[in-house]
A and B are shown apart, each in its own frame.
Chain A
Amino acid sequence: MAAKVIVLTSGKGGVGKTTSAAAVAAGLALRGHRTVVIDFDVGLRNLDLIMGCERRVVFDFINVINGDAKLNQALIKDKRNDSLYVFPTSQTRDKDALKRDGVERVLDELKETFDYIVCDSPAGIEHGAITALYFADVAIIVTNPEVSSVRDSDRIIGILASKSRRAERNMDPVAVHLLLTRYSPERVDRGEMLAIEDVKEILSIPMLGVIPESESVLRASNTGTPVVFDPESAAGQAYLDAVGRLLGEQREMRFLKTERRSFFRTLFGRA
């Protein structure tokens, strides 16, 4: 199987790109696929923290691009799953360090070893974000049910259709999927939050998954554990469903109904 490059992008910051990149990469690894997750946010390294490997970073993406380190010196093997690797970014303030030909060379080398290359894009539509999406075969648009996030997602979808390598070379377009995060069925019922159907209709791209707003996501990032490793987390289950759909499976959407919590669960339960 040819390796696939998956970018998680959104335009807007703070919608859950890194959380989702960590969860999707870990989910693919749990399904037995050799997966590497790359941090493209040069200068604002955070994927290492979310993946819980911040103390094992020696060399980074820019070191490898510049030829100062070998790929296998920079890749960090996940301690929970043998198929999962983390490729941290640099903390340099030189935003142009991410050279397109260098990135291409590194991605080509990764394609020899891995089934999936998951790229965690920085926010915005500047150099880093464009470089992250340029080589993508698949794009996961991380969106919150909120006006500014939906608008920025629409902008990024337009950029994918015109500025990606597949667009420039008139190849099959990037397969674009919507991942709706921080969804709260209760607030949708109260008419306070855009419903799934609204966002789907406005952006008109296929829905990969809906991740419910969940306390377990913050717990996961606190401890540096991708949320799919928490078997009790609804968000983790929803991410695993999304990974299944990414692999071509039919999965019913879950966690979309308002849940009636018993008094006991409200007191002692976990989200």
Chain B
Amino acid sequence: MRLLDFLFPERRNTALVARDRLKIVLAHERASRDAPDFLPALQQELLDVVGRYVEIRDDMLRVNVASAGETSLLEINVELDGANIKPVKNGAAAETKPKPRPVPIARPDPSSPPPWVKPG
């Protein structure tokens, strides 16, 4: 058999590999193509906040916008390593009294009041 394999090497069908790789990469790119421009910034800020409490890597938090008909859905998926949540050492969760800290909030106009302030 080894001799046969040597004489007639089975050539890998690389075209199929190309097809499958393209399908995967394009599915991903099409999903993010129509996404609003603020998504990367939103994802980074969410990562910062979650990262203050639990150990998290960049690829464990995904933000997506999907729309169907009249409805848009902002989808935030946070996947955590393993079965147990690992709190960050000396992170915000370990502090007995959480310090009041200025929370960075993205607002279109910094001078305008935040949306939860009642006008007047």
Residues of A within 8 A of B (CB): 146-147, 150-151, 154-155, 158, 162, 188, 190-195, 198, 202
Contacts and interface: CB of A to CB of B under 8 A. Distances in A.
Which one of B13, B22, B33 has the greatest number of beta carbons of chain A within 10 Å?
B22
B107 interface: no
B30 interface: yes
B65 to A, nearest CB: 15
Interface in B3-35: 11-16, 18-19, 21-23, 25-26, 29-30, 33-34
Q: Determine chain A's interface SS by DSSP, over half rule.
A: helix
Given A151-B29, A202-B23, 4 more contacts: A158-B33, A191-B16, A194-B19, A198-B19
Given A147-B22, A150-B22, A151-B22, A198 B15 contact: yes
12 contacts: A146-B18, A147-B18, A151-B25, A151-B26, A154-B26, A154-B30, A188-B15, A191-B12, A194-B15, A194-B19, A195-B15, A202-B19
Contacts, number: 39
Contacts of A192: 14-15
A83 to B, nearest CB: 39
Closest 4 CB pairs of A and B: A191-B13, A198-B19, A158-B33, A147-B18
Contacts of B12: 191
B15 A193 contact: yes
B29 to A, nearest CB: 7
A197 to B, nearest CB: 10
Contacts of B30: 154, 158
